[in-house]
Structure 1
Amino acid sequence: MQKKEPIQISSLGEFIGWVKQLDFKKCLFRGVPNAEYRIQASAYRRPKEENRNLEKFLQINKHLIADARLRGHGERDGRELGDLEILAQLQHFGAATCLIDFTHNAQVALYFACQKDSKWEKNQRDSENPPDGKVYAVPNDPLNFKKVTPDLLKEKISYFLPRSQPYGRDRQLYHWEPGYQNNRIIAQQSVFVFGAPEIDENEACIIEEECKKDILIELEQVSGINEAMLFPDFDGFSRLHREDTLYEELGASDYFRRAERAHSETQYEEAILNYDKAIELDPQDSETYLWRALAKRALGQNRDTIDDLDKMVKINSNPHAFEMQGKVLSHMKEDRKAIAAFDKVIELDPDNPSCYIRRAIAKWNLRQYQETINDIDQHLQIEPDDFYAYRLRGKVNEDLGNLDEAKRDFQKALRFLSPNARSIGEIKSNIQRIEKRIVEKN
């Protein structure tokens, strides 16, 4: 494939556009913080440039594997590791090997391309500007790469790294996704590419240095990609808190994420503490009040739940906010308050069918039967094929003693059900019961 001139990227949207126009559907991506960096194995860069060759490249990796075995790092769970497995473990902890990190996820590669170049920072001159980043894309197909199978995994490293260039053809390249995958490999959707000390680029894009910070913010906001997500293991957690990392106070979004995690694990008191901090820092975020209300509801703190729901709709008086308020109040059996909330939804969005049916249920609970039927009728004008609405109206009509109307409603509900629906038996039973009552009445 002919090499194209890299295009300049200044936003996440532009990057996604670049990925979509690639000539190949399946590809692997690699992001580097300095656009001058080529696709090279880190072990190849260890010798001085004038001493780099295929023989030296193989020797470095063989010695690394041998030393690791001598130090007792050649086994895991009582099983002897293959050469590639040892190299993967060493690479995980920062050793220079023949393995080159790629990812299936283009946005993960973009994240790494948006990082600062630590080597440049160490050797920078005042007259130099920080470097642009770069994302490489290479086709992931059998013509480019041979997949490492369990049988190949048993081979020595010399099998994959021949000492000389094969005559008249390119060196065989391999791609390998380890069967034993730690959390970091999974999070980064990593794949190792190897077989040559350097790989030619097919397509690439340049990430403009002045846009790196904004793109990282976009990646976190849009895709949830950040350092904590990509390095979820203990080693990665330690990286987040290393000495040269600037300590930053937690923001409202940080506390909200902490609260979400605690909430999902039913640690409601811990969740509420973090929702409190998020609200303290951003008191105008209506969604946080909703989630704090749900946590308080789970703890049976009904009065505080209602207070938070009131605060939510005071900040954000849109139909969705009132609908959420009404749904939570309905679950709490606060039917009168729920009706008031659904009234607001219908006032703002009269074509919302679900709120008519929800308000109807609340009114039914309060035995406001005729108003219940009126709401169901409104709902059916918008969704005339809703079996649930006919079933509900059938129950209300039965409560009112309108047996003929109830029978017709249940028959209509039956008409709109699929043949295998679970409710068929219940509705048929309702019809039989009503028919029996009609006979008794007459």
Structure 2
Amino acid sequence: MNTKNRSESKNKLQTVNDVICAIKEQSADGNCIFRGESECHEKVSSNLYRELKSIIGFENVGIGNFQDEIIEQAKDYTDTTGNFEILTELQHYGGKTNLIDFTQDYKVALFFACYGTLNKPGRVIILRITDEIEKTLRYPQHPKKRVLAQKSVFVQPPKGYIERNRYHVICIPASLKFLVLQYLLEDHDIEPKTIYNDIHGFIGSYNSQWKSYRGFYNGLTLQDRGDEVTDPKEKLESYEKAIAHYTSTLGLEVDDPAVYMNRGNTYLNLGKVDKAIEDFNTAINMYPYFSDAYYNRGTAYLVLPSEIRATF
């Protein structure tokens, strides 16, 4: 594996096609697996490693002993036989294991790199399968629906993490994430419903969508009320409550440019122009074709004194 393949992409990608081409270039020989991370972490590591390192504070965490103990304890709670099968079941339900999820499909990795956190850069990890990596690969023997949909394969590294010189990183700018997700949906039918295609995925998606819808709807209702009422005190209270609902919606890891734009509008109504512009910028970065956000940002600029406007 040459130095170029072990490096991290330095040139900022400008379009969805740039992202696809970069991934294909680094995996051209086909002997690779992929992992998507919606935020950039220090290491490609298992969740058990990260948990132990946060407690112990150094890299040599003796992860094998902890993993064996977890497996033994888990045997009292499952009919699943076989250590690896127990680990995959734990992984499926969010337990701490020394397995790192990868996929054989770069498009699935790209989904995970972009989904969930739209306002931060993500990354696609491209791991070339060398003889040494092959020894750490684990393939599900009785895959569930979600594993099949995600074309999953697991890496079980002895130290809990993969050495940095083993993989290549494609960085996904936050400004492209929304567009990438649109591309995956429209061209490949890849979306949360097809990736999390079991009852647990349905429950998680349903709960998240309901909470986000409720927060956004409440914010929109209060914002409209603030626009309509004439009493200054009631207007102020309505706008402040609307902002609280929009903010709580974003706190659910629901990154939607429409939420940022509506919160920006409400900040603008309160005269908090700097915060309004910040939200409009976020909405535009997430979805560069959001014409309403551009218009509202322009309106906000006009509110600023000319000497301050010149600094933007």
Are 2:45 and 1:26 aligned?
Answer: no
Q: 1:53 deviation in Å?
A: 4.5
2:178 to 213, 217, 220: 213
Where does structure 1 lack aligned partners over 5 or more consecutive residues? 118-128, 147-173, 249-442
Alignment of 1:293-308 (within 5 A): none
Aligned length: 204
The residue identity in structure 2 corresponding to 1:36 is H
Q: Which residue of 2 aligns with 1:45?
A: 50
Q: Which residue of 1 aligns with 2:145?
A: 183
CA contact (8 A) 2:145 2:197 kept: yes
Q: Which residue of 2 aligns with 1:199?
A: 162
Counterpart Cα distance in 2 of 1:94 and 1:10: 34
The residue identity in structure 1 corresponding to 2:134 is F
Alignment of 1:13-412 (within 5 A): 13-22=17-26, 24-47=29-52, 48=54, 50-54=56-60, 56-71=62-77, 73=78, 75-76=79-80, 81-117=81-117, 130-146=119-135, 174-196=136-158, 197-201=160-164, 202-243=167-208, 245-247=211-213
Higher alpha-carbon Rg: 1
The residue identity in structure 2 corresponding to 1:222 is D
Q: Which residue of 2 aligns with 1:4?
A: 7
| TM-score, with length taken from structure 2 | 0.60
Where does structure 2 lack aligned partners over 5 or more consecutive residues? 215-312
| TM-score, with length taken from structure 1 | 0.43
Q: Which residue of 1 aligns with 2:263?
A: none
User: SS where residue 21 of structure 1 aligns?
Assistant: helix
CA contact (8 A) 2:49 2:61 kept: no
Q: Which residue of 1 aligns with 2:258?
A: none
The residue identity in structure 2 corresponding to 1:193 is V
Write the deviation string for residues 209-264 of structure 1: whole angstroms up to 9, x where unpaired. 1221111111100111000000111001111111465239xxxxxxxxxxxxxxxx
State percent identity of aligned pairs: 26
Counterpart Cα distance in 2 of 1:31 and 1:189: 13
Counterpart Cα distance in 2 of 1:5 and 1:51: 26
C-alpha distance 50-58 of structure 1, shift in aligned 2 (>3 A): same
Q: 1:179 deviation in Å?
A: 1.5
C-alpha distance 68-213 of structure 1, shift in aligned 2 (>3 A): same
Q: 1:143 deviation in Å?
A: 4.4
User: SS where residue 33 of structure 2 aligns?
Assistant: strand
CA contact (8 A) 2:23 2:170 kept: no
C-alpha distance 143-107 of structure 1, shift in aligned 2 (>3 A): same
C-alpha distance 52-43 of structure 1, shift in aligned 2 (>3 A): farther
Counterpart Cα distance in 2 of 1:141 and 1:56: 24
Counterpart Cα distance in 1 of 2:42 and 2:24: 24
The residue identity in structure 1 corresponding to 2:46 is A
Counterpart Cα distance in 2 of 1:37 and 1:218: 28
C-alpha distance 68-36 of structure 1, shift in aligned 2 (>3 A): closer
User: SS where residue 84 of structure 2 aligns?
Assistant: helix
Counterpart Cα distance in 2 of 1:92 and 1:65: 14
The residue identity in structure 2 corresponding to 1:199 is I
Counterpart Cα distance in 2 of 1:138 and 1:194: 13
Structure with the greater relative contact order (CA < 8 A, sep ≥ 6): 1 or 2? Answer: 2
Q: Which residue of 2 aligns with 1:160?
A: none
CA contact (8 A) 1:8 1:205 kept: no
C-alpha distance 195-223 of structure 1, shift in aligned 2 (>3 A): same
Write the deviation string for residues 176-218 of structure 1: whole angstroms up to 9, x where unpaired. 1111010000000000001231113421111111221111111
C-alpha distance 180-213 of structure 1, shift in aligned 2 (>3 A): same
Counterpart Cα distance in 2 of 1:115 and 1:145: 28
